[in-house]
Amino acid sequence: MEKENLIKEVEKKAQAWLDGKYDEDTKNEIRQMLANPDKSQLIDAFYKDLEFGTGGLRGKMGAGSNRMNIYTVGSATQGLANYLKQAFPTLKQIKVVIGHDCRNNSRLFAETVANIFSANGIKVYLFDDLRPTPEMSFAIRELGCQSGVNVTASHNPKIYNGYKAYWSDGAQIIAPHDKNIIAEVGKITSVDQIKFQGNPDLIEYIGEEIDAKYIERIKENVLDPALIQRQKDLKIVYTPIHGTGRHMIPRTLDAIGFKNVFHVAAQDVVTGNFPTVSSPNPEEPAAMQLAIKKGEEVGADIVMASDPDADRIGVVCQNDEGKYIILNGNQTALFLTWYLLKKWKENGKVNGKQFIIKTIVTTEVIREMAERNGVGFYDVYTGFKWIAAKIRDEEGKTKYIGGGEESFGYLPYDAVRDKDAPASIALMAEIAAWAKDNKIKLYDLLKEIYKEYGFSKEKMIYIVREGKQGQDEILALMKSYRENPPATMGGSKVVIVKDYKSLEAKDLRTGKITKIDMPEPSNVLQYFTEDGSKVSVRPSGTEPKIKFYFEVKVPMASTADWNKANAEADKKIDQAAKDMKAV
């Protein structure tokens, strides 16, 4: 009976679209879903409205209220336009920047967004073609805009697209603006409320002039130009995985002095179909195989990739056996943080008024680095908007050095307020040049970093649950973990439980409960063990997944113990995953 009622409900919503002012292609797609005896596609397309959340929109493309299309994008943009007028009532001209990635329909959605903003009297700077997400963030600050929108689904499969909203500081929107915008978007209940007819006089195309300024800012943050000059022929393999880094990242590497960059021809083809990969995600080993093959062919010193919107990076180096392996996001963050701290200290820029940031699910070794080097440290929620918010809070008081998250995102300077693949790849290339200049392999340098700051190993496992049923299952899992926390994890006793939904941390040894200092609650659980290991559990905010982040600590007295430490850590992670029923 419940399913029958749901089918009646979605059929009613679908019929409203057929009766409304929607284009004929959209209506034909809906008719096909209605005619299909299997109603699962219809249910998934209409069982809810695609929510404008704190990160914007993300979903599968297609017809329906729960899909990415010009109407759901239009509702979001009209609501954002209405809020901008409320937030800046005395401003003579509100301005926004619009960018997009390589995905199917991204240009269409970007132009739709531009038209709606301009129809509402808002000045639009629209990039003339696809650009990296961080460049869009940079442009907001550079052009003195009040907001911005980037059309991208980041590293998701090709059937997805998304819509990220930004504020005047170039960062993704947080409180109080996020909730206020959501409220305004919720008031758009009819397609008739959306002003689709643009005003061309208010749309200005931007491109090369912003490209040049963005690259110059990255170049200004090179830490050792003489080093790069000495190692200008460092063999670098780079792939954009069909995305927006295709032109900007090789151009950036050239601008800072690297003259020996090898391309992966098949993945230089810019397309939202991502023909060489099943998922355009540098976290996935399969997405990196063509780049690794190229690295083997040319004997690369380092192999790097960016995801389709060029905010995340993948890094590959050779291990002890000469095999090219992918660093995990924590290891890349360790490299970048280590080098930044080293060079800032060498350059006399550390005086106790600097800080670094990581997210709560990222390796605790970064905390150790900050403390030992006498710089401030902050732990923030997952999502780069929280790193950006902390940079804004500290602006004028202390200086940001760098920050990142385990999901392959890093920001090594403060000219941008989102994770930045062009700048991070430039810095990672400089680190590879430093290693070569000092006659040490990158892999051996990684061992030295762990020896100095303590060894840990991390693994992220996720469970996918699609659709409404999947969403319910994920919520039930989180409820179960709260009510029945594990007693042990990977063979070590759980001693502290942090629940970011209640913002309380409980010490299981004493029963003491303390408040967690965070800007708002979040549906995240963390378990800390006696041996310093950590497990974090959270539903993804952008994908139909529940994610488990495992970090285990084991002793490593010298680099000679590397293999032993890794083997022991693997066993602990496997056991911890069983303890959490994540496998």
Boundary of a domain, candidates 207, 236, 253: 207
In a domain? residue 471 = yes
Q: What is the dihedral of CA 13, 15, 21, 23, to 10 degrees?
A: 100
CATH number at residue 496: 3.30.310
Residue range 64-123, pLDDT digits in tens: 999 999 999 999 999 999 999 999 999 999 999 999 999 999 999 999 999 999 999 999
Q: Is the peptide bond before 89 cis (omega within 30 degrees of 0)?
A: no
pLDDT of residue 540: 82
For strand 399-405 and strand 409-411, is the pairing parallel, antiparallel, or unpaired? antiparallel
Q: Which residue has the tokens 């690295």?
A: 295
Residues 384 and 466 in one domain: no
pLDDT 10s digits, 129-176: 999 999 999 999 999 999 999 999 998 899 999 999 999 999 999 889
Number of domains in the chain: 3
Is residue 347 in some structural domain? yes
CA distance 65 to 396: 44
Return the number of other C-beta atoms located less than 10 Å from residue 341's C-beta. Answer: 22
Task: Dump the DSSP string for 426-488.
Answer: HHHHHHHHHHHHTT--HHHHHHHHHHHH--EEEEEEEEE--HHHHHHHHHHHHHHHHHS--SE
A 10 A CB-CB count for 284 gives 16
Closest CA to 496 of 534, 542, 543: 534
- End-to-end distance of the chain based on CA atoms, in angstroms? 34
- Tell me which H or E stretch contains 212: helix 208-220
Confirm whether 401 is domain-assigned: yes
pLDDT at residue 542, rounded to an integer: 65
Answer yes or no: are the C-beta atoms of 548 and 461 closer than 8 Å. Answer: yes
Would you state the structure tokens that stand for residue 338, as one six-digit string? 């280590």
Residues 353 and 476 in one domain: no
CA 545 from chain centre, in angstroms, equals: 15
Listed as ranges, residues in the chain with pLDDT below 70 are 1, 54, 542
Give the per-residue pLDDT at 316. 98
Residue 349: give its domain's CATH number.
3.40.120.10
- The pLDDT score that the predictor gives to residue 583 is 77
Tokens, residue 405: 């998250």
Pair (471, 383) in one structural domain: no
Which of 163, 181, 207 is the endpoint of a domain?
Answer: 207
pLDDT at 469: 81
pTM of the predicted structure, to 2 decimals: 0.94
25's torsion region: left (phi>0), alpha (psi -120 to 50) or beta?
alpha
pLDDT digits (tens, 9 = 90+) for 231-277: 999 999 999 999 999 999 999 999 999 999 999 999 999 999 999 99
Is there a single domain that holds both residue 404 and residue 343? yes
Do 490 and 373 belong together in one domain?
no
In a domain? residue 379: yes
Say which residue the tokens 């995953």 belong to. 577
536 shares its domain with 410: no
Residue holding tokens 């790097």?
304
- Residue 500: give the domain boundaries: 456-579
344 domain residue, yes or no: yes
In a shared domain, residues 477 and 334:
no
Q: Find, among 349, 361, 418, 393, the residue nearest to 97 by Cα.
A: 418
Query: Are residues 486 and 396 part of one domain?
Result: no
Catalytic residue numbers, as ranges? 154
Q: Is residue 527 part of a domain?
A: yes
End position of a domain, from candidates 181, 207, 233: 207
State whether 69 and 186 are in the same domain.
yes
My answer on whether 370 and 481 are in the same domain is no
Percent of the chain with pLDDT over 90: 90
**Tell me, what's the pLDDT at 54?**
67
Taking CA atoms, 468 is separated from 51, 138, 216, 289, 573, in Å, by 13, 37, 47, 34, 31
Q: Within this chain, do residues 410 and 502 fall inside the same structural domain, yes or no?
A: no
CA-wise closest residue to 29 among 58, 6, 62, 70: 62
Q: What is the pLDDT of residue 544?
A: 82
Same domain, residue pair 461 and 411: no
- Please report whether residue 179 resides in a domain: yes
In a domain, 480, yes or no: yes
Number of residues written out for the chain: 583
